[in-house]
Amino acid sequence: MNKAWLTSLAFTIIVSHFYAHETSYLDLDSSSFEFEFSKADLLGQISPASHPSFSNVPIRLCSRSGVYLRTEVLEAFEGLYSAASDEGIELIIVSGMRNFNHQKSIWERKWERPQYMGWSKVSKAIDILTYSSMPGSSRHHWGTDFDLNSLDNNFFESGDGLIIYDFLSRCAGEFGFKQVYSDDVNRTGYKEEKWHWSYMPIAEEMLKAYNSTISIDDFSGFNGSSVADSIDVLKLYVNGIDLCDFK
Ligand SMILES: [Zn+2]
């Protein structure tokens, strides 16, 4: 497709909210949100601090300052956080929106690891992709996804971590959240991430917009971008999510 045409393309999407639940503050039954996703939004080439759709996450909800999410995502998370608090559980956002440059710094730091001396570019990229996204392909770019409490699956398998994970498995769907990198055997791409949760009412629409707008030609500007096509990053990773209903 013509690149100039793609660049100018933006999507206006009305999200019909069939994610009915009993939490009245969001009133998802009767409202609809209008979103416009630019290519920059989808590739994370934005600054959330100056983007009108994003809000700064209050420090009481996260492990550090300077965390941003889309405003509707933050509102939904406040509901989930309160429900957890009612059960004596403390949810902590350890990572929220990460833009392209942030993801590029994570990716390139791994790309330069001495352990990869002698590896082919494809093998190196696939190894890094176990848990880390290629810049331009991360759901963290969208402001719909965040990581909770610990970046270690083992944490969620016993003690406080298991209590947190059980709560999330039971309740997160009511607020629109889903663990997209699940243990579903039909899924491709990243390994299971029990810490990574996605706000589906917006993320599903962003994935549709991404699939219509972004091509492999958009992967550039970082070390290793040339192998994005060979490893089929769009099909296997961007679309390698759990497609089961999340309720
Ligand atoms: Zn994550």
Distance 193 CA to ligand 1 centre (A): 8
Domain ranges of the chain: 3-238
Q: Span 3-238: which CATH code?
A: 3.30.1380.10
Q: Which pTM was predicted?
A: 0.85
Distance 211 CA to ligand 1 centre (A): 20
Q: pLDDT, tens digit, for every residue of 201-227?
A: 999 999 999 999 999 999 999 999 999
DSSP string across 76-113: HHHHHHHHHHHTT----EEE----HHHHHHHHHHHHT-
Distance 181 CA to ligand 1 centre (A): 9
Residue 94 pLDDT greater than 60, yes or no: yes
Q: Read off the amino acid at residue 67.
A: V
Residue 18 pLDDT greater than 50, yes or no: no
CB 33 within 8 A of CB 15: yes
CA-CA distance, 136 to 121, in Å (whole number)? 18
Question: Which pLDDT band holds residue 244 (cuts at 50, 70, 90)?
Answer: confident
- Say what the pLDDT of residue 227 is: 97
Distance 138 CA to ligand 1 centre (A): 8
Put residue 123 in one of left, alpha, beta given phi > 0 → left and psi -120 to 50 → alpha.
alpha
C-alpha distances (whole Å) from 46 to each of 60, 68, 203, 207 are 25, 12, 17, 17
Q: Beta strand pairing status for 68-70 and 54-56?
A: antiparallel
CA-CA distance, 197 to 186, in Å (whole number)? 19
Q: pLDDT, tens digit, for every residue of 156-200?
A: 999 999 999 999 999 999 999 999 999 999 899 999 999 999 999
Distance 95 CA to ligand 1 centre (A): 7
Put residue 153 in one of left, alpha, beta given phi > 0 → left and psi -120 to 50 → alpha.
alpha
- Say what the pLDDT of residue 35 is: 73
CA-CA distance, 220 to 226, in Å (whole number)? 7
CA-CA distance, 68 to 54, in Å (whole number)? 6
Neighbours of ion ligand 1 (CB under 5 A): 147, 196
Distance 140 CA to ligand 1 centre (A): 6
CA-CA distance, 178 to 166, in Å (whole number)? 13
CA atoms within 13 A on the CB side of 54: 25
Distance 26 CA to ligand 1 centre (A): 24
What average pLDDT score do residues 80-98 get? 98
Q: pLDDT, tens digit, for every residue of 126-156?
A: 999 998 999 999 999 999 999 999 999 999 9
List of residues 6+ apart from 197 with CB closer than 8 A: 145, 146, 147, 148, 168, 172, 177, 178, 179, 180
Distance 97 CA to ligand 1 centre (A): 9
Distance 179 CA to ligand 1 centre (A): 10
Long-range contacts of 160-163 (CB under 8 A, 24+ apart): 163/89
